[in-house]
A = this chain, B = another copy of it.
């Protein structure tokens, strides 16, 4: 049975998944790299940048799950580019010619944009659909594999509100960001649908796994 999963979704102690002031130079605004340092320090994170080394402990164990058994991703317009990317004809995502997805990726946007076929198997499709329809489309494209909801926070929230998420992996980073976009907003009582497990890492972050109750 194809699952809908969220991985490596980093938030601050006060629940912000991104900071304020998002630009092309600062994709996470004033949060900078702070929400994802834990991942950059893992082997998984190093490989993303073509670097050797990286940690092999609990952070790595969680980080590398993100691609296992995934056949498609759904992401929000805000993850695909900085505000206004829809008006830059040359914008093809943050990730260069060979993005790290290697599957179909469905970008939720109100604008009609032709699909972009990238190297390495990533194809960006642009759709204007409800969470339910987006999941159905992505599951079809995933050919029986799982679908990852790639973020940002507003998108993850929408899929949680629609009760479409089977597994949510949140990484709590011990910083107080103060401003930005929060994950938990509008999700009162959401814990009733999930079993929650928390495990700390020597890096200082904590991994929270929410798995849907059967």
A residues engaging B (CB < 8 A)?
13-15, 172, 174-179, 182, 184-191, 196-200, 204, 206, 208
- Residues B189 and A174 in contact, CB atoms below 8 Å apart: no
- Residues A187 and B198 in contact, CB atoms below 8 Å apart: no
- Contact of A176 with B189 at beta-carbon distance under 8 Å, contacts A14-B182, A184-B13, A206-B206 already known: yes
Distance between A51 CB and nearest chain B CB, rounded to angstroms:
27
Q: Once the chains are docked, how many angstroms separate the CA of A14 from the CA of B182?
A: 9
Which chain B residues lie closer than 8 Å to A187 at the CB level? Answer: 14, 176, 178
Q: Once the chains are docked, how many angstroms separate the CA of A176 from the CA of B171?
A: 16
A174, A176, A178: most-surrounded residue (chain B CB, <10 A): A176
- Residues A178 and B174 in contact, CB atoms below 8 Å apart: no
A selection of 26 A-B contacts at a CB cut-off of 8 Å is A13-B15, A13-B208, A14-B185, A14-B187, A15-B15, A172-B198, A174-B191, A174-B196, A174-B198, A175-B191, A176-B188, A176-B189, A176-B190, A176-B191, A177-B188, A178-B187, A178-B188, A178-B189, A197-B200, A198-B200, A198-B204, A198-B206, A199-B200, A200-B200, A200-B206, A206-B206
Which chain B residues lie closer than 8 Å to A186 at the CB level? Answer: 178
CB nearest neighbor in B for A170: B13
Q: Once the chains are docked, how many angstroms separate the CA of A174 from the CA of B186?
A: 16
Which chain B residues lie closer than 8 Å to A172 at the CB level? Answer: 198
Enumerate the 6 nearest inter-chain pairs by beta-carbon distance, A residue then B residue, closest first.
A178-B188, A14-B184, A174-B196, A198-B200, A175-B191, A176-B190
Which chain B residues lie closer than 8 Å to A204 at the CB level? Answer: 196, 198
CB nearest neighbor in B for A182: B14
CB nearest neighbor in B for A160: B176
CB nearest neighbor in B for A205: B198
CB nearest neighbor in B for A14: B184
Which chain B residues lie closer than 8 Å to A200 at the CB level? Answer: 197-200, 206
Q: Once the chains are docked, how many angstroms separate the CA of A188 from the CA of B208?
A: 22
Q: Once the chains are docked, how many angstroms separate the CA of A176 from the CA of B204?
A: 23
CB nearest neighbor in B for A200: B198
Q: With A176-B189, A176-B190, A198-B200 given, can you name 6 additional A-B contacts, CB distance below 8 Å?
A: A13-B191, A172-B198, A174-B196, A175-B189, A178-B186, A179-B188
